[in-house]
Chain A
Amino acid sequence: MNLKKYCFIPLIIVLLASFSSLSMAQQKMKMGLFIASSALPYFIAKERGYFAAEGLDVEGIPLATQPLVVQGIVTGDLDAGSNLLSLEGANINALRPDTLKYISLNCQNVKYQLEAYVVPVNSPIKTLAELKGKRIMSAPGPGNLFVAKGVLKGVGLDEKDYQMQEQQMSVHIGGLQSGQFDAAYTLEPIVSMMVSQGVGRKLESGVIAKYMLGRPDACAVLGGGVLSSKFIKEHPQAAERFARAWSKALNDGNNDPKARDLLVKHMNTSASIAQTVPLSYYKMARDLSPQDIADFQNLIDQATTYGLVKQKIDAKSFIKVY
């Protein structure tokens, strides 16, 4: 009799464990990561347990280019993206409406400097206007070329006034050091590395806000966190939980210097510059001011005129507030 009783105990334990694991089953998600400092919120949320606390099991999938993140979202392989370029997002929604929604946007400007024109440390060039007739390298891709040229247009230089060639970020330091280029339109952390290694000097940073949007403190939105529209429709509650976890991660990214340690661990940033390298300012969509949205729309409209975004699109149509 006693023996039977003891046999039941393990059985009950196993059943209870099964039920409890069922009730705790986490929503699985796949998030496309473009490994750059702007992917920081994903690593914060993952390492600090913000996803797990909301019952989410988010797997980060590093992808080499931004279009691959979009492709993953279109095919349904990815549910989210940590730092998708805003113009890529605008373009895909213009071409294939309701593909994805931005739940957060990353602002960069004169205070949050992510992009800069850099010249060799001994260069006599003092202003952007002096780049007339110079050889300039730009960060790669049509989006970077668009802003690099847009900034120079803002200081009165036409495309005919300079020679611009896109180059992979990995060759920017060497290209400037060897004297093959007179200036570089480049991005962090390369800007900080150029300065700290004595290769280059910042000519001007935060240039997109100042010259393309007309105000140094404008919110130049070059990227943000996205959820696929399919995921939002099929898993509305999980999407809300995701947004809660994401919001905490953005807050840490903006306010907690210790979060920067993750740059060294996951984002190929050297420890010597990790604490000082500029980051963009992360904003959940709910925190965007009408001016921020107007700035975003302004940039998209310029990209549409340039031909980068295929057709006119309302920025609000692909922003989702949580």
Chain B
Amino acid sequence: MSKIVRTAANLLFPFILIFGFYVIVHGHLTPGGGFQGGAVMATGLAMIIAAHNYERIQSAFKKDLLKTLEGTALVLFLTTAVSGFVVGKPFLTNWIVQAGGLFGGEPTVAGNLNTGGIIPLLNVFVGLEVLGALTLIVLTMLSGAKENS
């Protein structure tokens, strides 16, 4: 694409990533959450893929890194779900809610980030997985289309 489009994409890219991360982390206070924030971050990466030419994309994005990120995020989600077995509760139990410590505060009307139990942790892991999955789909379809022509 032309130089104006490339410069605008390079300028907007960090702001989109920060906004997506904000939507993921504040999932238990404002509308949003894991899936929505992950889709916003993947949109930022797709904008970079659309603006630059193919050789630069091939050298910048490593598919192995995205595959590792996606697989690790899903394994960490399962680990957090199984972690209730330590205190003798069933699968996917919110066992650190309102018990002090990490994410165990009191919910207020103004919004306290330190609440929610295991919900913010699950939000972050699902957001990373959605980011890896959507970017990997776009990259695979692009490389499949480029090798035809």
Pairing of A with B: no
Instruction: Give B residues with C-beta under 8 Å from A.
Output: none
